[in-house]
Amino acid sequence: MKLLIVEDNGELASWLAAALRQGRYAVDVASDGEDAWHLLRVSDYDAVILDLGLPNMDGMTVLKRARKAGIQTPIIILTANSGVDWRVAGLDGGADDYLTKPFDVAELEARLRALIRRRNSQTATEIVIGDLSLDTATRQFCLKGDPLALTPREHSVLELLVMKAGTTVSKAALSESVFGFDDTADPSAIEIYVHRVRKKLEGSTVQIATFRGLGYLLRSSAEE
């Protein structure tokens, strides 16, 4: 899953990005409203963490522009201002949630997971495909009932395939989910990560099918 952090406090942005990457998210960071607006138009994010007090273009303007442009990405407002009027203005402007500084990363991650589940129309906290399961509350994979060990990028690949189960996911969409805007990725990198995930699913009833020119499809062997 890929997040955009919009925060002009460099120290806070770096700390938060590191914490979320540790939590197996791909993360882009924008330090002002103009950069954030540009990234929202050219990249697809699972959620945005948006500060309101930004240079060049304030966070409220970014929020309203995004919604007016039809961008429905979940947005959490992050600000030091805890006043009710600010919360109401943000929610009325199209924000999905509101968190005041200082905050706990665990709470932020829980709110992110809830918003992303809602965006993907998932009411259940567990997705099961064959003998593979994903707990959407903890983002933990289990295979045949045992935790499945994955690197962060392997996790991102499998997570997107599970979230899009039943549909073919393009290599470009996987790359968008796995790599940040500033990452340098070899064109064959996604193929390598898919291969690694396939190896870890060997002996299970779950397969990743390749459709040339289209992408990858996660399915249970019972569906063949």
User: Going residue by residue through the chain (224 aa), what tens digit of pLDDT does each one get?
Assistant: 889 999 999 999 999 999 999 888 889 999 999 999 999 998 889 899 999 889 999 999 999 999 999 998 999 998 877 667 777 888 888 899 988 888 899 999 989 988 887 876 655 578 899 999 998 878 899 999 999 999 989 999 999 999 888 889 999 889 888 887 777 667 688 999 999 999 999 989 999 999 988 899 999 876 55
User: What SS3 string covers the chain?
Assistant: CEEEEECCCHHHHHHHHHHHHHCCCEEEEECCHHHHHHHHHHCCCCEEEEECCCCCCCHHHHHHHHHHCCCCCCEEEEECCCCHHHHHHHHHCCCCEEEECCCCHHHHHHHHHHHHHHHCCCCCCEEEECCEEEECCCCEEEECCEECCCCHHHHHHHHHHHHCCCCCECHHHHHHHHCCCCCCCCCCHHHHHHHHHHHHHCCCCEEEEEECCCEEEEEEHHHC
Residue range(s) defining the domain that contains residue 178:
126-223
Q: Could you tell me the two tokens for 42?
A: 């050219």
Domain termination residue (choose one: 80, 97, 119): 119
Domain termination residue (choose one: 100, 119, 138): 119
Domain termination residue (choose one: 101, 119, 137): 119
190 and 162 in a common domain? yes
133 and 85 in a common domain? no
CATH number, domain with residue 157: 1.10.10.10
Q: Please answer whether residues 153 and 25 qualify as being in contact, where contact means their C-beta atoms are separated by less than 8 angstroms.
A: no
Q: Please answer whether residues 26 and 185 qualify as being in contact, where contact means their C-beta atoms are separated by less than 8 angstroms.
A: no
Total domains in the chain come to 2
